[in-house]
Amino acid sequence: MIDNGLPEGWELVVGLEVHVELATKTKLFSGSPNRFGDEPNTNIDPVTLGLPGALPVLNQHAVELAMRIGLALNCTVKPSTFHRKNYFYPDLSKAYQITQYDEPLNVDGFLMLPGGVRIGVERAHMEEDTGKSTHFGGAGGRIHGSDYSLIDFNRAGVPLVEIVSHPDVRTAEQARQYVNELRAILVAVGASDAKMEEGSMRCDANVSVRKYGAELGTRCEIKNVNSVRSLGKAIEYEARRQIDVLETGGTIRQETRHWDETDGRTHTLRAKVDANDYRYFLEPDLVMLAPDAEWVERVRAALPVLPAARRTNLAILTGAEEDSEAIAVVVERGQDTYIEEVKNSGGDAGRALVWVQQSFAEEGNTPRLPAKDLAALTVLERDGKLTATQAKTVLGDMLEAGGGDPAAIAASKGFEALDTSVIEGFVDEGIAAQPDAWAKYCAGEEKAMGALVGTIMKLSKGKADGKVVTAILQQRRNG
Amino acid sequence: MSERLSAADVAKVARMARLNISAADVERYTQQLDGMLDHFADIDNLQLADVQPMTQPFPLVNVLRADVEQPCLDREEVLNAAPAAEQGRFRVPPSGGEDE
Amino acid sequence: MSNFSTATSIAHNVASGAQSAASVVEEHLQRISQREEEVHAFNLVTSAEARERAADLDARIARGENVGPLAGVPIALKDNMCTRGIPTTCSSKILEGWKPPYNATVVDKLFAADAVFVGKTNLDEFAMGSSTENSAFGPTRNPLDTSRVPGGSSGGSAAAVAAGFAAVSLGSDTGGSIRQPAALCGVVGVKPTYGLVSRYGLVAFASSLDQIGPFSHSVADAALLTEVIAGHDPMDSTSIPKPAPSLVSVLGRGVEGMRIGRVADLPEGADADVLARLDAAFIALEKAGATIVDVKLPSLSYALTAYYLIAPAEASSNLARYDGVRYGNRVAANDMNNMYADTRAAGFGDEVKRRIMLGTYALSAGYYDAYYGKALKVRRLISNDFAAAYANADVILTPTSPTVAFPFGAKTDDPLTMYLCDIFTIPTNLAGHPAMSVPFGTGQANMPVGVQILAPTLGEEAMFKVAAVLESAA
Ligand SMILES: [Mg+2]
Ligand SMILES: [Zn+2]
């Protein structure tokens, strides 16, 4: 039984619905720009505003991106249709959302979590986004009790894909992994920038609990989760809330709940007493979308290597653990091919991984620094010609200049790795200067080593290799 | 007249369609719609199990447009035609607690 | 045929310099000033724009420039087609005063053809009705007898042509809204194949049924105007990806050897005077060398039910956008839902509300299968019936309207009575086929009777050939 952090005997069941905005130039059904952050109501056209007489025409690139998502999630791409989902809301310009209903484009896929858990993907369908309401007055911009709202339709009609998982997620950590992995895939296939903070990726969680082996419990849908961290916290909170209700003899009401970041709780948003009747029917202004095998195969053939395979490759190349943070971060930034280049230029891939993870956050997938220069730096380090601290300084200069010969830079700074016999001398001086710390360290207090190393590094004016100092100290204590 | 739908049904439908109609109108519409549904019962006895629904007269597939930007409408012109607008946006009264 | 000039002759005369566009416009504006108050064909007469456009056209002709196929032809547009900067109301209070920021595709095509707009015509609110009595701005009167209705919903467009206010006009036909008023006003009216004419900018009533088409004095004018407005439009996903058909060129070809279908099981309800004219039409065509064949359309009697479930269902969704948020009129209220409900209650007329409610009900949870879902299947049956019939016939002839133009108020008490006006025109829209009404003599009270020619998908050529023969035999 996996540890889900819940009281003994309780199982957590979570399904995730993720909406992603597609990286197209224009809207799903019209030619106004799909662009975040513009002045309100500047990206509008008759279709976006739902003007009388306007008609939708499907964006081919949006379809291709949706197919990329489906194929990357191992879905079957099939003939599909669009429906109207009818409801009144001021940011829904036509009073219906065009969405794929009973015949979605992508069905029956799955996503493998880095740990090897398989999460089924029920469907990944296309639909249009709504505009944006901002509430004014009342209690600080909340919907309830506001005085009025202002509507911006720039986002209306932006193409979305909604990815609906099976309720296969069993822990909050798996939910976090799912969203992280999904985001990595979406970015890798170029379908979306998938930024939760900007709303281009939005995640709802259907949470229920049950005793192991029991029927599925009643679920609540959790909305307004704005980061992967909050997703985990919201699921954990909601699961405990439901268990508390059930253990005190209550029942769970099926409802939509709102995650409140400030108090760390979920709150009832809308009880489904008067269940919404969306009066779905086939959108008569659109025709069937049925990509033929040739089109599907063309899209499949153009898919890049996906993050999971890239992580495996990078782990093999660098010798790092496949599920390590460094591997995940570097693959997510798309810098794994760069590390391959460093290796091909004769560099040390393991050291390159460390530097790229630590210092290349701003560099993107094509760093300014030529791979051969980083290769040269990792060779100096591996051969003991530079300490890690010195290498970091040299790398800083190289990044600033956009390249350079690390040996020459090191020489100009007077860097050379100190001989072990010289370091032994500094160690002697250091122990003499810190007799108490030495005694504690010898008594097995590992923390005391910090003070010793610090003193010794200071005495060597930073030229001693920290790793060598540590090794000598350990050797002396044990010896 | 049969009772195919009640005044309560009509009131509910009017709410769903966002039409504020008086009680007298609900009565009148109930009678009229009930009469229509009576007439429309002529298709109730047709054998339709194996019939494919027809939603469009001229079936086309894959009608697509290129992802190319087109000129936008002028914001001022559009907002001037709106019942209420401010700060470059459409102004509406507060939502009465319902949210999607 | 009336004694007003045809579009064909006006375009010819204007292009050749025999007549100025300005004089043509003045002649029509003068007739408008004489009779519009009585007829009320228009929601808006655009005299200034018409004069300006005509003067501009005359100047271009004087410079020797090429002009379009409708050069100087005064045309009226049903007020449910978007015209940039010119009010488009759908004869509804909810849209009163709204000026669209864009043109419908047909409007751009007419501009490009050098037609001259004289105004926006009255209609049943949002095209829902068969008499134009449902206009929020008052009814249109039949120019041939102003105590009678012009038919609807495109009553204003039919009346504008019949009264000589415009040489031709455009209407929209969802269940007969071009053909029935054409018949009642004694003019030609065409509903083209669904998808032949772009719907972009036509304010939607029922998206899978709506189609724009012409009114005219002559079959040749209808052919000319259909050619101009037809053709593929990338802005309408349901637009047929084919070029516009050639129709004017087929008109003289006769009907020799053609098979004309007579519906053996025609639904009852047509008056004797109307059926007498239909019989006369068959005789005329037989004389011209056609063969009359019996066809069966057993599902035809269910068309009314299918239509009055499908059209309101689509309409309930299409008309949900009139919510007082982005355009049109608003009734102020203290919260969103009251604003919506008060705005829509004040903005929509009785018939529109009735159909929105009927359609909402037909689509709602628990009733979809019994009503809307079933109606879609009946639609298929009707389409299959037509397919079988057209195996034996090139076109089918029926009455257009069961009666001649009726007096005001005759059918306003019970909505169903009014719905029965469309019994012969509705099946075509369900099938998506073309159909047209051609005046063929008169019936009761000396009012005109129209004969309806039905043809299969993209069968406009055969339909126009038959229409031309009937026109010369009338
Ligand atoms: Mg959802
Ligand atoms: Zn969605």
Is residue C424 within 8 A of residue C402, CB to CB? The reply is yes
Would you say residue A386 has pLDDT above 70? Answer: yes
The alpha carbon of residue A61 is apart from the nearest alpha carbon of chain B, in Å, by 6
Neighbour count for residue A145 (Cβ, 10 Å): 12
**Measuring CA to CA, which residue among A77, A79, A27, A37 is closest to residue A57?**
A27
Whether residue C336 and residue A90 make contact (CB cut-off 8 A), yes or no, is yes
Would you say residue B7 has pLDDT above 50? Answer: yes
Predicted confidence (pLDDT) per residue in A251-287, tens digit: 999 999 999 999 999 998 765 445 689 999 999 999 9
**Measuring CA to CA, which residue among C24, C80, C45, C36 is closest to residue C352?**
C80
Name residues 47-86 of chain B within 8 A of A (Cβ). Answer: 55-56, 59-73, 75, 78-79, 86
Assign A417 a pLDDT band (cuts: 50, 70, 90): low
Residue A60 has its nearest CB partner, among B66, B72, B87, at: B66
Whether residue A149 and residue B100 make contact (CB cut-off 8 A), yes or no, is no
DSSP C57-88: HHHHHHTT----TTTT-EEEEETTB-BTTB--
Predicted confidence (pLDDT) per residue in C185-226, tens digit: 999 999 999 999 999 999 999 999 999 999 999 999 999 999
Residue C377 has its nearest CB partner, among B53, B56, B60, at: B53
Q: Which long-range contacts (CB under 8 A, 24 or more apart) does C441-446 make?
A: C441/C277, C441/C280, C441/C474, C442/C404, C443/C271, C443/C273, C443/C274, C443/C276, C443/C277, C443/C404, C444/C271, C444/C273, C444/C403, C444/C404, C445/C145, C445/C404
Q: What is the pLDDT of residue A139?
A: 63
Would you say residue C1 has pLDDT above 60? Answer: no
Mean pLDDT of chain C: 97
A161 alpha carbon to ligand 1 midpoint, in Å? 11
Chosen from B69, B79, B91 to mutate, greatest number of chain A CBs within 10 A: B69
Residues in B closer than 8 angstroms to C98, CB to CB, are 81
Percent of chain C with pLDDT over 90: 98
Helix and strand element counts for chain A (H, E): 15, 15
A84 alpha carbon to ligand 1 midpoint, in Å? 14
Is residue C74 within 8 A of residue C137, CB to CB? The reply is no
Q: Is C153 a catalytic residue?
A: yes
- Architecture of the domain spanning B1-42: Orthogonal Bundle (1.10)
Question: Which are the contacts of A440, defined by CB distance < 8 A and separation ≥ 6?
Answer: A447, A448
- Architecture of the domain spanning A420-478: Orthogonal Bundle (1.10)
Residue B32 has its nearest CB partner, among C320, C323, C354, at: C354
Whether residue A285 and residue C237 make contact (CB cut-off 8 A), yes or no, is yes
Domain ranges of chain A: 10-301, 307-412, 420-478
How far apart CA C377 and CA C375 sit, in angstroms, is: 5
For residue C403, being part of any structural domain is answered with no
pTM: 0.91
Neighbours of chain A (3+ CB pairs under 8 A): B, C
- What CATH number is given to the structural domain containing C86? 3.90.1300.10
Q: What is the pLDDT of residue C2?
A: 64
Would you say residue A416 has pLDDT above 80? Answer: no
Whether residue C240 and residue B63 make contact (CB cut-off 8 A), yes or no, is no
Q: Is A86 on the interface with C (CB under 8 A)?
A: yes
3-state secondary structure A18-66: EEEECCCCECCCCCCECCCCCCCCCCCCCCCCCCCCCCCCEEHHHHHHH
Mean pLDDT of chain B: 93
Angle, CA B53 vertex, CA B48 and CA B59 arms, to 5°: 145
* CA torsion, ordered C10, C15, C16, C20, to nearest 10 deg: 70
* CA torsion, ordered C248, C251, C252, C254, to nearest 10 deg: 160
A298 alpha carbon to ligand 2 midpoint, in Å? 27
3-state secondary structure C157-201: HHHHHHCCCCCEEEEECCCCCCHHHHHHHCCEEEECCCCCECCCC
* Residues across chain B: 100
How far apart CA C132 and CA C123 sit, in angstroms, is: 5
Would you say residue A323 has pLDDT above 90? Answer: no
How far apart CA A102 and CA A364 sit, in angstroms, is: 40
Q: Is B78 on the interface with C (CB under 8 A)?
A: yes
Indicate the range of A428-432, A465-469, B91-95, C128-132 predicted with least confidence.
A465-469
Question: Above 0.85 for ipTM, yes or no?
Answer: yes
Predicted confidence (pLDDT) per residue in C333-353, tens digit: 999 999 999 999 999 999 999
Would you say residue B91 has pLDDT above 50? Answer: yes
Residue B57 has its nearest CB partner, among C339, C348, C431, at: C431
Q: What is the pLDDT of residue C425?
A: 98
The alpha carbon of residue B57 is apart from the nearest alpha carbon of chain A, in Å, by 10
Whether residue B72 and residue A90 make contact (CB cut-off 8 A), yes or no, is no
Q: Give the mean pLDDT of A443-448.
A: 87
Chosen from C319, C321, C430 to mutate, greatest number of chain A CBs within 10 A: C321
Domain count, chain C: 1
Q: What is the pLDDT of residue A141?
A: 53
Is residue C167 within 8 A of residue C148, CB to CB? The reply is no
Predicted confidence (pLDDT) per residue in A198-230, tens digit: 899 999 999 999 999 999 999 999 998 999 999
The alpha carbon of residue A54 is apart from the nearest alpha carbon of chain C, in Å, by 6
How far apart CA C154 and CA C127 sit, in angstroms, is: 7
Residue B40 has its nearest CB partner, among C309, C332, C339, at: C309
**Measuring CA to CA, which residue among A169, A321, A25 is closest to residue A181?**
A169
Assign A142 a pLDDT band (cuts: 50, 70, 90): low
Q: What is the pLDDT of residue A419?
A: 73
* Residues across chain A: 479
Q: Is C177 a catalytic residue?
A: yes
Q: What is the pLDDT of residue A364?
A: 86
Name residues 17-76 of chain B within 8 A of C (Cβ). Answer: 17-21, 29, 32-33, 35-36, 39-40, 42-43, 46, 48, 51-58, 60, 63, 65, 73-74
Q: What is the pLDDT of residue A140?
A: 55
Closest-approach residue (CA) in chain C for A52: C203
A107 alpha carbon to ligand 2 midpoint, in Å? 15
CB pairs under 8 A between B and C: 167
Catalytic site residue from C5, C91, C130, C177: C177
Residue B68, both tokens: 């190319």
Assign A236 a pLDDT band (cuts: 50, 70, 90): very high
Predicted confidence (pLDDT) per residue in A32-71, tens digit: 999 999 999 999 999 999 999 999 999 999 999 999 999 9
Whether residue B99 and residue A143 make contact (CB cut-off 8 A), yes or no, is yes
Q: What is the pLDDT of residue A271?
A: 56
Predicted confidence (pLDDT) per residue in C420-458, tens digit: 999 999 999 999 999 999 999 999 999 999 999 999 999
Whether residue B29 and residue C371 make contact (CB cut-off 8 A), yes or no, is no
Angle, CA C436 vertex, CA C434 and CA C441 arms, to 5°: 160
Chosen from C78, C83, C209, C235 to mutate, greatest number of chain A CBs within 10 A: C235
Predicted confidence (pLDDT) per residue in A364-377, tens digit: 888 999 999 999 99
Whether residue C337 and residue B98 make contact (CB cut-off 8 A), yes or no, is yes
Q: Which residues surround ligand 1, an ion (CB under 5 A)?
A: A 17
Whether residue C374 and residue B43 make contact (CB cut-off 8 A), yes or no, is yes
Q: Is A140 on the interface with B (CB under 8 A)?
A: no
How far apart CA C195 and CA A390 sit, in angstroms, is: 73
Name residues 10-49 of chain B within 8 A of A (Cβ). Answer: 16, 18
Q: What is the pLDDT of residue A270?
A: 63
More confident residue, C395 or A442: C395
Residues in C closer than 8 angstroms to A86, CB to CB, are 316-317, 320, 363
Whether residue A59 and residue B64 make contact (CB cut-off 8 A), yes or no, is yes
Residue B94 has its nearest CB partner, among A25, A149, A288, at: A149
Start-to-end C-alpha separation, chain B: 39
- Rg of chain B over Cα atoms, rounded to whole angstroms, equals 23
Q: Looking at the CA of A162, name the nearest ligand.
A: 2
Residues in C closer than 8 angstroms to B46, CB to CB, are 302, 374, 377-378, 381
